[in-house]
Structure 1
Amino acid sequence: MYGYVAPSFTYASPHISPEELYGTLFKDVQNSHIFVDSKTFADAIPLEDPVLIIERYHQEKDNPDFDLALFVQQYFRMPVHIASGFRPDTNVSTSEHIGTLWSLLTRYPENQERGGSLIPLPFSYVVPGGRFREIYYWDSYFTMLGLKESGRVDLIENMINNFAYLIDSFGYVPTANRTYYLSRSQPPFFSLMVRLYSEMEGKKVLTRFLPQMQKEYDYWMDDGGHAAEPFCAHRRLVHLPDGVRLNRYWDDRCTPRPESYREDIELADEAFEKYEVAPDALFRHIRAAAESGWDFSSRWFAEESDFASIHTTDIIPIDLNCLMYHLEQTLAEAYLLKENQVCADLYNEKANARCEAIQTYFWDESKNYYMDYDFEKRDFTKAVTLAGAFPLFFKLAPKLHSHYVRRYLRLNFMKSGGLLTTTVRTGQQWDSPNGWAPLQWIVYKGLRNYNFHLTANQLSAEWLALVDKEFKHSGKMLEKYNVSDTNLIAGGGEYEIQEGFGWTNGVYLRMKNKKR
């Protein structure tokens, strides 16, 4: 092992988050601008027992010559960026380079840091890279696409086993294996991972992970144990007329995110001044957007370019409900394989009902495109996003709708380097002009599902060329790309652009091999 191995502290839960553990010290550090990136201190490793560190802080902090930065340096080891010192060979192909990266991005149980916010996992796993030093939930599905192309079935199995372990431990998959992520999940891709693995190992995989898929479903569908009126919600479940139940993003806490503490406090002040939004409500909307994976985007804003108008928990997202449809379908098949016809029929009914609801609540006839639904306003949201292509990926769109979606994508999203995330520029990273590997894959496969091979091949060629161009130029595989002006680096967001990069590597290899 490397790093400090903490003792088994008995004064608190082993999964306590750093803001709870360090209290005033944590808040003071995060508000002090010692670190450019708030995630740095959230991931820091204590060099002594945290109880002693906290005691010394309260003893010393009011001294006239006290230096907070020096105190932190004395008592904590700061995390390093993954693969930051790696010198790539740009003379090799992008695919060869990715093959080299897998080992750099892989973390092993015996080498996991101890004593900080990381939740150790029993099996090896691939991290995205850069500041992302932990396994992220929805990222991992797209990373697995590339691992399959590289013949790394062992890593795919290990990562799925880790997610099963997290579900067994907590009842759901947290955003990532950090204690400060334990109040939320991410887009539920576990059933897709299980399906991917079953392509290699057979249908027995579906029954092997049936208990975990069922637990995850129960987490997302928790209704508090009581009936609710239409247009009312409980956690991640929204009740609509005629017994329709759809899902939204949520977070079980309504405080500033530890990994973006200062930024959230500042936004809460702005939101209260502009819109009189209570800080706890604002924090919940921010955290729910983080659960979506689209942090952040005009998709979640009431006012197109105003972050302070974020209202994520009012929105029923199209992509999330397509994912839940897939989970219901997979549960139905798994129960059928277990010869449990009653449960198989139940989940088939649930999947069919959700399919019908998706056409009812998300198809906007005025745009001929799938939109998110604001259940508070009982209308579509304003933002047009690439999430509207998810029904094609899951083969949920009627044939006529698929033609409309393809046309809309070509007219509004297709650029010289691939597909925009949204059609507006706001400075947020999940908006124009940025393109992201997972969404390129979702659309690419969705188009091929409906035999729009020409458009799919055009998208693939443009995206692969952009990734190749950047690799030859900088030697880097990036988290996101500027698809509108391929000579510029993508921007926006709360942190500098990251390299590595798990899902970019995965989608590149899968697309390069022309796999569906």
Structure 2
Amino acid sequence: MKHITHFLFISSLALTSLSPVSAQKPATQSAPEKQSLAGPDQQFGKLFEDVQLKAIFPDSKTFADCTPKLAPARILAAYEKARVRRDFDLKAFVAENFALPVTPASGYTSKASQSARQHLIDLWPVLTRPADTRSKGTGQMGSLIPLTKPYIVPGGRFGEIYYWDSYFTMLGLQASNRMPQIRNMVDNFAYLINTFGFIPNGNRTYFLGRSQPPFFSLMVNLLSEKQEREVLLQYLPSLQKEYNFWMDGKATLTPQKPAYRRVVQLASGVYLNRYYDDKDTPRPESYKEDVRLARNTNDPKTLYRHIRAGAESGWDFSSRWFRDGKNLRTIHTTDFIPVDLNCLLVNLERTLADGYRLKGDQAQATLYQQLAQQRSDAILRYCWNAKRQFFFDYDFVAQQPAAVYSLAAAFPLFMNIATPEQAKAVGQILKKDFLKPGGLTTTLVRTGEQWDSPNGWAPLQWMAIQGLRNYKQTELANQIKLNWVTENLRVYKASGKMVEKYDVISTASAKGGEYPNQDGFGWTNGVLLRLLNEE
């Protein structure tokens, strides 16, 4: 691997012409501040590769999160000199030159007699991290991107914020009347947008090739529920910049070149979006797993791109993205128009319309309202399958709907995009096929991946419950809520913990994926607390 001492991520993001129905272009914002932040794989090259492939640490994320004790150039020079010795000990070299990631000691222990609600409230300080400052001396923070205000991490192996996790964590903060903490987190995300032009997957340099499901507009809307709607005006420039990121390259698309980065032109002349990653290398935090997967493949770069795009989706990984519906090796994420992503972008367009209306810019407000309607119509055209009576991702390369039934179908209900008839049909399938003793299963197939059966995840329960409520399917929504809450409380009573995901079928410990089930856990806590507060 060639050593790269630095890289410049994004120099500018220009807003392209957005709508075939209007010559008016949305107002552009100034280019994001340039920031040069290399990931650990780029900083340490051969050393990073050797540490990961020789499995010095069981979890690839550990070394990606280590902090160098000296400037990278000095460590590399020492490595090149030392590694040729017969008695060279790589593990000892790493221990000498890097500080391992440390979870701050909280002094917190779960109390057997404590209610789940009080446990969740007591966890907020445990999961809160202070605003970051670079350490004196080397000036290094490893791969951590400093944030200007305190933030909440998910828990377990995750010592940084994660984009879409944070929205569901905020639901619990809202239920706990912790609005200043929500404001801090929204401000941190706005800071990331203004610095990089988008919100990275998390505040790590190795996430700078990708984002995650775009929940920022929902976060701003959540904040505005407790404050004046005019709060939109404060975040309007950041909302605009995020939209620019997702739509970058739209004006360059043609029938011969229908996709660029995250935007796709379909045959009918409409534009929808896909998940993508700007890099085509192994993920530093899962380096050995990605390299192992790419062995004996003809095109590892394409595989890495699909893997990274799957990570941007948040569903890492799921049969949603597999060509054969079974094996990760067949992943082809960037070929799909995901139904959930495009529903989230409808909300972003609607929020921009509201923001420009509040600003008094009626032309921009009208334009974004048109764009939201165009996207909604396109979702119904390309993602609704009348024969199967369900919403699916759309494979724009194969020009056909995906085969995998998944809980992403709840997003058109959550965003009020589905027709009443479609919502009723989706509800019937959720009840018949997805509803299990512990809640809703993520898909209907078992692949060993964590975003497939039998696992259930808090964010998807919330989206489904709220989506069904939007269409007056209250009985089913309440049953899902009861099953999910009961399972959360059962596990808490047995273990004293909230966990990242649950086996909703056998109600055993959830498994699957690249790492063990994690406890903590931000979005589980947030959704459960919000649901408990309804009672």
TM-score after normalising by structure 2: 0.91
Query: Within 2, Cα distance between the matches of 1:446 and 1:82?
Result: 38
Residue matched to 1:300: 321
Residue matched to 1:460: 481
**What aligned pairs does 1:218-237 form with structure 2 within 5 A after superposition?**
218-223=244-249, 225-229=251-255, 232-237=258-263
Which of these residues, 496, 500, 506, is aligned with residue 475 of structure 1?
496
1:307 offset after TM fit, Å?
0.8
1:18 correspondence with 2:40: yes
Residue matched to 2:204: 178
Q: Is the 8 A contact 2:6 2:43 kept in 1?
A: no
**What aligned pairs does 1:17-166 form with structure 2 within 5 A after superposition?**
17-81=39-103, 86-110=108-132, 114-166=140-192
Aligned in 2, Cα 1:84/1:377: closer, same or farther, shift over 3 Å?
farther
Q: Is the 8 A contact 1:231 1:376 kept in 2?
A: no
**What aligned pairs does 1:377-416 form with structure 2 within 5 A after superposition?**
377-416=398-437
Aligned in 2, Cα 1:353/1:255: closer, same or farther, shift over 3 Å?
same
Query: Within 2, Cα distance between the matches of 1:262 and 1:26?
Result: 11
1:432 offset after TM fit, Å?
0.3
Q: Is the 8 A contact 2:198 2:242 kept in 1?
A: yes
**Alignment deviations for residues 203-232 of structure 1 (CA, whole Å, 9 cap, x no partner):** 111111000001000100112642411771
Q: Is the 8 A contact 2:133 2:146 kept in 1?
A: no
Residue matched to 2:380: 359
**Alignment deviations for residues 180-216 of structure 1 (CA, whole Å, 9 cap, x no partner):** 0001000000000000000011111111100000100
How many residues in Structure 1 have an aligned counterpart in Structure 2?
A: 501
Q: Is the 8 A contact 2:277 2:309 kept in 1?
A: yes
Code of the residue aligned with 1:26 in structure 2: it is: F
Residue matched to 2:305: 284
Query: Within 1, Cα distance between the matches of 2:310 and 2:276?
Result: 8
Aligned in 2, Cα 1:416/1:10: closer, same or farther, shift over 3 Å?
closer
**Alignment deviations for residues 7-53 of structure 1 (CA, whole Å, 9 cap, x no partner):** xx999975111011011100000001111110000000112222211
Residue matched to 2:525: 505
Code of the residue aligned with 2:147 in structure 1: it is: L
1:514 offset after TM fit, Å?
2.2
Q: Is the 8 A contact 2:132 2:147 kept in 1?
A: no
Which of these residues, 449, 463, 469, is aligned with residue 448 of structure 1?
469
1:373 correspondence with 2:394: yes
Stretches of 4+ aligned residues off by more than 4 angstroms: 9-14, 81-86, 110-114
Aligned in 2, Cα 1:88/1:155: closer, same or farther, shift over 3 Å?
same
Residue matched to 2:339: 318
Query: Within 1, Cα distance between the matches of 2:369 and 2:428?
Result: 31
Query: Within 2, Cα distance between the matches of 1:194 and 1:230?
Result: 38
Q: Is the 8 A contact 1:385 1:423 kept in 2?
A: yes
Q: Which moved more, 1:216-225 or 1:252-261?
A: 216-225
Q: Is the 8 A contact 2:6 2:42 kept in 1?
A: no
Residue matched to 1:205: 231
Aligned in 2, Cα 1:98/1:19: closer, same or farther, shift over 3 Å?
same
Q: Is the 8 A contact 1:83 1:500 kept in 2?
A: no
Aligned in 2, Cα 1:380/1:230: closer, same or farther, shift over 3 Å?
farther
Query: Within 2, Cα distance between the matches of 1:467 and 1:81?
Result: 24
1:366 offset after TM fit, Å?
1.5
SS in 2 for 1:468: helix
Which of these residues, 514, 517, 527, is aligned with residue 494 of structure 1?
514
Q: Is the 8 A contact 1:83 1:105 kept in 2?
A: no
Aligned in 2, Cα 1:263/1:84: closer, same or farther, shift over 3 Å?
farther
1:243 correspondence with 2:273: no
1:87 offset after TM fit, Å?
2.2
Residue matched to 1:6: none
Q: Is the 8 A contact 1:80 1:131 kept in 2?
A: no
Query: Within 1, Cα distance between the matches of 2:74 and 2:7?
Result: 12
SS in 2 for 1:246: strand
Aligned in 2, Cα 1:367/1:101: closer, same or farther, shift over 3 Å?
same
Code of the residue aligned with 1:107 in structure 2: it is: R
Code of the residue aligned with 1:48 in structure 2: it is: L
Residue matched to 1:334: 355
Q: Is the 8 A contact 2:106 2:126 kept in 1?
A: no
Q: For structure 2, which runs of at least 5 residues remain unmatched after alignment?
A: 9-34
Code of the residue aligned with 1:75 in structure 2: it is: N
Code of the residue aligned with 2:117 in structure 1: it is: S
Which of these residues, 215, 219, 226, is aligned with residue 193 of structure 1?
219
Percent of pairs with identical residues: 51
Q: Is the 8 A contact 2:320 2:404 kept in 1?
A: yes
Q: Is the 8 A contact 1:415 1:483 kept in 2?
A: yes
Q: Is the 8 A contact 1:88 1:97 kept in 2?
A: yes
Q: Aligned Cα RMSD in Å?
A: 1.7
Code of the residue aligned with 1:216 in structure 2: it is: E
TM-score after normalising by structure 1: 0.95
SS in 1 for 2:187: helix
SS in 2 for 1:238: strand
**Alignment deviations for residues 61-103 of structure 1 (CA, whole Å, 9 cap, x no partner):** 0100001011111111111346797421131111100111100
1:391 offset after TM fit, Å?
0.5
Q: Is the 8 A contact 1:82 1:105 kept in 2?
A: no
Query: Within 1, Cα distance between the matches of 2:36 and 2:177?
Result: 36
Aligned in 2, Cα 1:216/1:306: closer, same or farther, shift over 3 Å?
same
Code of the residue aligned with 1:449 in structure 2: it is: N
**Alignment deviations for residues 402-435 of structure 1 (CA, whole Å, 9 cap, x no partner):** 1100001001100000000000000000000000
Code of the residue aligned with 2:194 in structure 1: it is: D
